Amino acid sequence: MQAHPVINDFVVRFANVNGTGSASANNMFAKAIFRMGIPVTPKNIFPSNIQGLPTWYEVRVCEKGYLGRREGIDIMVCVNAQTMKNDIAMLPSGSYFIYDSTKALHREHMREDLHYLGIPLTAITQREYSDPRQRLLFKNIIYIGAMTALIQLDMDILKKIIVEQFQGKEKLIAPNHQALELGNRYARDHFECPLRFRLEPRDLLGDKILFEGNAACALGAIYGGATVAAWYPITPSTSVVDAFGEYAEQFRIDRETGKNHYAILQAEDELAALGVVIGAMWNGARAFTATSGPGLSLMQEFLGLAYFAEVPAVLIDVQRAGPSTGMPTRTQQSDLLSAAYASHGDTKHVLLFPSTPAECFDMTRMAFDLAEQLQTPVMVMSDLDLGMNDHLSEPLQIKAETKFHRGKVLTAQQLENIERFGRYFDIDGDGICYRTLPGTHPTRGMYFTRGSSKDEYASYTERADAYRRNMDRLAKKWETIKTYVPPPETYQPNNCSRDGMAFFGTSCHSAIEARDELNNAGLTLDVLRIRAFPFHAEVVDFMDAHDRIFIVEQNRDGQMRSLLINELGIDPQRLVSILNYDGLPITAQNILQQVLTSAGHQAVTSASMPGVSS
């Protein structure tokens, strides 16, 4: 007997072998759902490998618009014999298992409580195609085609995506279309379609886009005026610079001369990458680097120099699971402490926490303004989940007549009117001094940039009072910075609970979903999304306004909680860690269970949330 249908609310997971062309087919699947106007969240779960190891692609469809990962799988499409056993074992009762039935399933793979749908993918491709590469590739297209019958994925939309994808290679369109039809026909002929889980078109997405964070950061760098990019390859940040290069080729080549209005340098390591950025920004060009944890570790000494010598720098840290090499293709938010306090001595750095591609774009652009205005490094703390997966996002926007805010840089004319230039005088009382660029004026404004102690004229000094004055001014500048960084996002017009929950970056969607579920379970929480370090005054207000605050983060040690305690002097008893650090994006169920457990509530039953397996 068929249970009642579930519309636009399920998870499909594809199990593939890395390097077999499944990625583009799976992307097409998500894109088609997006174009059907239904909220969709695809996530790659991929190995640190180029070819041969297992890879998964998980797509959550959620009419209600929750975009976090959800636990529990409703439909598994398994085209990887290596992982079949585990893929089957992990399925909740009642889910569908779609597999290549060219060979019969082994008895040990049979479970009474699953629906098995075998499609002889290999046999079909053997029959239809002669080229071995095509046989491999079209397997993927065939199972996507089957989805048009099984879950009512829109065939016309898929076909249109293929037409767009193969512009310039039109010959490939027809065979791809044919493969879709093969899958559709096989499913219609052999199964009762549609399945219980199915799609219905909606119009829920407005002008939203489906985009990945790394490319959005790259565009942010383009629109932020970056002309120099220096980097050393590391997953998951590599595609930031790759995308920057592609956009630069599109937008930054002088039409007349054919010359580049940008320079991209693959450095010998991350030390050099940041050194190049510092040298370029010292000299007045906007520059950035992109890296991940291991690279950030190597950049520590230079970050201290830039902090102390007050040289702007922009760094995009696409975080991955550490420590050390950790799990290089899994996500985490675990570089917070090493970024916030990077380098020896008393140092503190500005961090921005984007949570959507649109925010990757905005914050990367903003990072250049902030770095130059504040004369200090600014780090955009993205992560693998945000950077390398497609996300539903507001469109990218920029104001007409956008101007770069270059900060306090003196012109030759201004130097003419100054009796004696002193690089480190706090003229305005905000801790931010005036700087000059090399080559500005023939006889005025020269100074010596150094990482050693100096007086207001930038002259070397070991005088205790001068050193202290400088350190105190830097502390004052830190206070000023709090007024420059973006305020947190609040989600309720007024606080209405003694309990709060704070989160940042990619924990955002799951945290909001958990908040709603907790509300249903009778626990009301005010919530706040932290968008920057140092903490804005509104973050302080929120912490003050609540007795107990759950701090949601994707690392083991509660690094954001430590920062809050350390910077704001909050009683540690009041901050409760809600953690996820297995390398997979955090889920609402996980947050919900942890909050309820720590709040002393009974764990909710799986009935109240789909996909929670007991």
Partner 1 sequence: MSFIKPNFRHPGLLPNALGFLPSDYEGLLSTLCAGCGHDSIGAAIIQACFELNIEPHRLAKLSGIGCSSKTPAYFLGNSHGFNSVHGRMPSVATGANLANRDLIYLGVSGDGDTASIGMGQFVHLVRRNLNMTYIVMNNGCYGLTKGQDSATADKGSKSKSGNVNVFQNIDLAGLAIELGAGFVARSFSGDKTQLVPLIQAALSHPGFALIDVISPCVTFNNNPGSTKSYDYVRQHIDATATVDFVPPAEAIEVNYADGEELDVTMHDGSQLRMKKLHPGWNPYQKDAAVRALHEASATGEVLTGLIYVNEVQEDLHAMLNTCDKPLNQLTERELLPTIQSLEAINASLR
Omega before residue 194 within 30° of 0, cis: yes
β-pairing verdict for 54-62 and 499-504:
unpaired
User: Among residues 495, 521, 496, 483, which one has the least CA distance to residue 597?
Assistant: 521
User: Which residues does 121 contact at the CB level (< 8 Å), separation at least 6?
Assistant: 79, 100, 101, 102, 139, 142, 143
User: Among residues 12, 92, 69, 73, which one has the least CA distance to residue 580?
Assistant: 69
Rounded CA-CA distance 265/232 in Å is 9
Closest approach, Cβ 252 to partner 1, in A, equals 7
Q: Which is nearer to partner 1, 127 or 251 (CB)?
A: 251
Rounded CA-CA distance 234/244 in Å is 15
Closest approach, Cβ 238 to partner 1, in A, equals 19
Closest approach, Cβ 361 to partner 1, in A, equals 9
Closest approach, Cβ 84 to partner 1, in A, equals 35
Closest approach, Cβ 395 to partner 1, in A, equals 4
Other beta carbons less than 10 A from residue 380's beta carbon: 28
Q: Which pair of structure tokens corresponds to residue 286?
A: 């906007």
| Alpha-carbon torsion, ordered 386, 388, 392, 394, to 10 deg | 70
Identity of the residue numbered 599: A
Q: Which is nearer to partner 1, 323 or 395 (CB)?
A: 395
Q: Which is nearer to partner 1, 188 or 444 (CB)?
A: 444
Provide the 3-class DSSP secondary structure of residue 260.
Answer: strand
Q: Which is nearer to partner 1, 221 or 579 (CB)?
A: 221
Closest approach, Cβ 218 to partner 1, in A, equals 11
Closest approach, Cβ 276 to partner 1, in A, equals 4
User: Among residues 329, 357, 355, which one has the least CA distance to residue 215?
Assistant: 357
Q: Which is nearer to partner 1, 147 or 278 (CB)?
A: 278
At residue 351, φ and ψ (nearest 5 deg) are -120, 140
Burial 159-187 (b: 16+ CB within 10 A, else e): bebbeeeeeeeeeebebbbbbbbbbbbbb
Q: Which is nearer to partner 1, 57 or 223 (CB)?
A: 223
Omega before residue 236 within 30° of 0, cis: yes
Q: Which is nearer to partner 1, 249 or 346 (CB)?
A: 249
User: Among residues 342, 407, 346, which one has the least CA distance to residue 379?
Assistant: 342
Identity of the residue numbered 477: K
Rounded CA-CA distance 566/552 in Å is 17
Q: Which is nearer to partner 1, 33 or 187 (CB)?
A: 33
Q: Which is nearer to partner 1, 369 or 526 (CB)?
A: 369
Closest approach, Cβ 261 to partner 1, in A, equals 5
Closest approach, Cβ 378 to partner 1, in A, equals 16
